[in-house]
Copies of this chain bind each other. A is one copy, B any other.
């Protein structure tokens, strides 16, 4: 199979950070959301977990749930302590008929202390209750400081807000073919000096051993000044390409994975942002081209970018290139 001989002449990339050892790789290397498909073991979870990273990447609803759960748990904890100190440590408590009501009084007093709202219709009496209340209000302040920090961290975290087309295409291109996919920013952010880096991983049999080989995919344009509209990344499949002569089946047989890294400068964060993604052979459309996704607004005053059309393509026949078989 000439095409494989051909490919072997191309330079491998050896510094991807991934292993050339296929035997340790299961599934894709990079997930669609950009996370690396790796798990770390061998040291305790608290050592290998950056709480900040976790809190920052959590979906919003989970984060809010966690905050309220934490608030609830802290209150239960302090309420229990106040309950065991004895409800006469809390002056003005008015719900004391049952033990449940005593606990609820302690709970609400705890909430008032933790949030520093401190209405005062319930107030601590005696050294133990007072000490505990002093401690709790300080804990409240620290917890609040933490929450403020994480809120800000979540809110202000520089993100690229790039959306990629769901699939990548092998499309006709200048008499031959090219690998293409499309991306656009989907928020009211604006990226400049956008750099794309696309590489390819494939599993090949070399001397009886399955190896993972990495190649750089050269792009027609690999840097745009501004990501104003959408951007179609184009890798021409010519003799320089490791995909030269590949059929749809070849993509599958070699478990091809296209890895993308976008780096840009975000105007409003005034910071470098980066987003990664990857496509596997399962996300390939062999023989298709993207449809336009921007048009003039009816007002004639500005351009409309239609984000729902990001992945829209139509099936087309590919030119018959001299297949090397």
Contact = CB atoms under 8 A, between A and B. Distances in A.
B302 A48 contact: no
Interface residues of chain A: helix, strand, loop or mixed (majority): mixed
A26 B306 contact: no
A242 interface: no
Contact of A228 (B29, B137, B301): B29
Contacts of A269: 270
Interface string A260-273: 01000101111111
Given A26-B302, A56-B268, A302-B38, A115 B137 contact: yes
Q: How large is the interface on A (under 10, 10 to 19, 20 to 34, 35 or more residues)?
A: 35 or more
A91 interface: yes
B17 A231 contact: yes
A130 B104 CA distance: 9
B104 A112 contact: no
Contacts of A91: 94, 121
Interface in A46-104: 47-50, 52-54, 56-57, 64, 67-68, 71, 75, 91-92, 94-95, 104
A135 B41 CA distance: 39
B187 A49 contact: yes
Contact of A301 (B27, B122, B221, B303): B27
A1 interface: no
A153 B229 CA distance: 27
A146 interface: yes
Contacts of A238: none
Interface in A269-319: 269-274, 276, 294-297, 299-309
13 contacts: A15-B224, A24-B294, A27-B300, A36-B190, A39-B305, A42-B305, A43-B307, A52-B155, A95-B126, A119-B120, A119-B122, A148-B149, A153-B155
